[in-house]
């Protein structure tokens, strides 16, 4: 593990994290360096996790000095790292322009998934999602997306990037934001993460979750071929228009057509359909049966998510027996429909809860700043 010493932070330096291999090669060409130097640098940054140029001993002093003058290797700044009783970790991260994002790591016994954000906030306003109530929104850069994963690796000290037995074995693009409103940056970031000479996460270990930005789904299949998760949550357009308002633009039939056309959809790599369980809203036996009917012909598995209530939310979580009944009906109709165990509730790290603390902290800080004498 390596940290950027604060005396090395070069305020005008461009961040090398987030550049594609071609861009990194072009940057080094500007310094008069051959392409193999870019390969070495890539290895230092993404395989070894090193951010201090002075540690990059294969590069030669002259080049290291030039790099130090012009560039940085910078993750987002860690504001806080919280650890849940169940092992879940949550980071509040600050970007260079002072925005705040959250990332969550969810451990299993011998592996785990980093839940990565794609935007500051979200422009969509799904009525059950806390992130959707956040006003401030901007797309994250490739550096900020890749940087979140690297912060997780730092926290576990998993450098050099191990091939086997890693705790940070998976990525789910299920943090704050709608990844397919930031498709270019998300694709660029995930390509960096998938690169075998660096962070080396296979596309089979990456899942992108979307609320249903239909025209972008094809690109994900073609350019990444990673796993796809769809936030479905309702079986009629009437209800989905309310819960997931992007449905008014891309209704259920169009969304499911895009899923049928998703290139990696096969029985071995099924599409995940996420379904948040809302008491008396979408949790009836009839809706479970309708869900199975809708998904006929699609290699699908369903993830039933108990609703995580947040202050001011208009919904309640379905009672456990209703969720179990829903799951059993789907199972009996041949669909796998496990109930997701909420993780990290004590640190507000569960699905849909990301935002609150950061905004509150942000506001508190602003008012503190106001109170300071000029
Ligand atoms: N914007 C993307 C990815 C982030 S949300 C999307 O919507 O798919 C990740 C998952 O958490 C989505 O399925 C989302 O619908 C779900 N979610 C949001 N708020 C939730 C809440 N309060 N309780 C349970 N799940 C929630
Ligand atoms: Fe945005 Fe996803 Fe939340 Fe909807 S569920 S508001 S798309 S983050």
Domain of residue 60, CATH code:
1.10.150.530
How many A from CA of 296 to the centre of ligand 2?
26
- Residue reference for tokens 């992007």: 246
> Is-contact 231 174, C-beta < 8 A?
no
Instruction: Look at the alpha carbons of 112, 178, 227, 183 in this order and tell me if their dihedral is positive or negative.
Output: negative
Give the three-state DSSP class for 71. Answer: strand
CATH of the domain at 289: 3.20.20.70
CA angle 91, 141, 211 (to 5 degrees): 75
Ligand 2, pocket-test mutation among 118, 122, 273, most atoms within 8 A of CB? 122
- One domain, residues 113 and 65: no
The pLDDT, as a whole number, for residue 266 is 67
Does residue 88 form part of some domain? yes
Q: State which of 36, 57, 72 marks the end of a domain.
A: 72
- One domain, residues 249 and 339: yes
Number of domains in the chain: 2
- One domain, residues 184 and 66: no
Is residue 336 very low, low, confident or very high in pLDDT (cuts 50, 70, 90)? Answer: very high
Q: Which are the catalytic amino acids?
A: 102, 351
Does residue 366 form part of some domain? no
Q: State which of 31, 48, 72 marks the end of a domain.
A: 72
Residue span of the structural domain in which 217 resides: 77-360
Looking from the CA of residue 209, the nearest atom of ligand 2 is 2
Does residue 369 form part of some domain? no
Rounded alpha-carbon distances, angstroms, from residue 161 to 39, 194, 201, 202, 292: 16, 12, 9, 13, 41
Ligand 2, pocket-test mutation among 123, 128, 129, most atoms within 8 A of CB? 129
- One domain, residues 53 and 159: no
The pLDDT, as a whole number, for residue 237 is 98
What is the mean pLDDT of the segment spanning 110-138?
A: 90
- One domain, residues 27 and 145: no
Percent of the chain with pLDDT strictly greater than 70: 89
The model's pTM is 0.91
Does residue 146 form part of some domain? yes
- One domain, residues 129 and 271: yes
The pLDDT, as a whole number, for residue 344 is 83
- One domain, residues 180 and 308: yes
- One domain, residues 172 and 24: no
pLDDT (tens digit, 9 = 90+) per residue, 174-196? 999 999 999 999 999 999 999 99
- One domain, residues 67 and 94: no
Mean residue pLDDT across the chain: 90
Does residue 119 form part of some domain? yes
276 lines ligand 2 (CB under 6 A): no
- One domain, residues 160 and 64: no
- One domain, residues 68 and 156: no
Does residue 285 form part of some domain? yes
Does residue 293 form part of some domain? yes
pLDDT reading at 72 higher than 90: yes
Q: Rg of the chain over CA atoms, in angstroms?
A: 22
> Is-contact 59 74, C-beta < 8 A?
no
- One domain, residues 25 and 123: no
What is the mean pLDDT of the segment spanning 155-176?
A: 91
The pLDDT, as a whole number, for residue 282 is 98
> Is-contact 189 18, C-beta < 8 A?
yes
pLDDT reading at 364 higher than 60: no
207 lines ligand 1 (CB under 6 A): no
Does residue 371 form part of some domain? no
């Amino acid at each position: 593990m390596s940290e950027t010493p604060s005396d090395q932070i070069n305020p005008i330096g461009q961040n090398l994290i987030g550049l594609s291999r071609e861009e990194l090669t072009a940057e080094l060409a500007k310094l008069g360096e051959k392409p193999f130097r870019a390969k070495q640098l890539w290895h230092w940054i993404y395989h070894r996790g090193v951010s201090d140029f002075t540690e990059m001993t294969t590069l030669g002093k002259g080049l290291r000095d030039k790099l130090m003058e012009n560039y940085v290797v910078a993750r987002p700044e860690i504001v806080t790292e919280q650890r849940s009783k169940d092992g879940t970790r949550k980071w509040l991260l600050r970007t260079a322009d002072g925005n705040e994002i959250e990332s969550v790591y969810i451990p299993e016994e011998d592996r785990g998934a980093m839940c990565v954000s794609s935007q500051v906030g979200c422009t969509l306003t799904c009525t059950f999602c806390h992130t959707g109530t956040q006003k401030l929104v901007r797309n994250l850069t490739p550096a900020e997306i890749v940087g979140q994963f690297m912060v997780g690796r730092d926290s576990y000290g998993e450098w050099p990037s191990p091939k086997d037995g890693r705790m940070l074995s998976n990525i789910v693009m299920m943090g704050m934001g709608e990844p397919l409103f930031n498709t270019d940056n998300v694709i660029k970031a995930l390509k960096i993460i998938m690169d075998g000479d660096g962070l080396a996460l296979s596309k089979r270990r990456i899942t992108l979750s979307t609320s249903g930005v239909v025209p972008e789904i094809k690109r994900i299949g073609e350019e990444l071929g990673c796993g796809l998760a769809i936030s479905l949550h309702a079986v009629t357009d009437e209800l989905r228009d309310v819960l997931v308002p992007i449905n008014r633009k891309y209704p259920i039939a169009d969304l499911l057509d895009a899923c049928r056309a998703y290139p990696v959809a096969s029985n071995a790599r099924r599409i995940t359909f996420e379904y948040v369980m809302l008491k008396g809203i979408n949790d009836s036996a009839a809706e479970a049966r309708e869900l199975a009917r809708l998904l006929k012909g699609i290699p699908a598995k369903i993830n039933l998510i108990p609703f995580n209530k947040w202050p001011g939310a208009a919904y309640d979580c379905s009672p456990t027996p209703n969720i179990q009944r829903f799951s059993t009906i789907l199972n009996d109709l041949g669909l796998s429909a496990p109930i997701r165990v909420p993780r990290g509730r004590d640190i507000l790290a569960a699905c849909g809860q990301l935002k609150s603390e950061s905004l509150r902290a942000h506001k508190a800080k602003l008012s503190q700043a106001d109170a300071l004498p000029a």
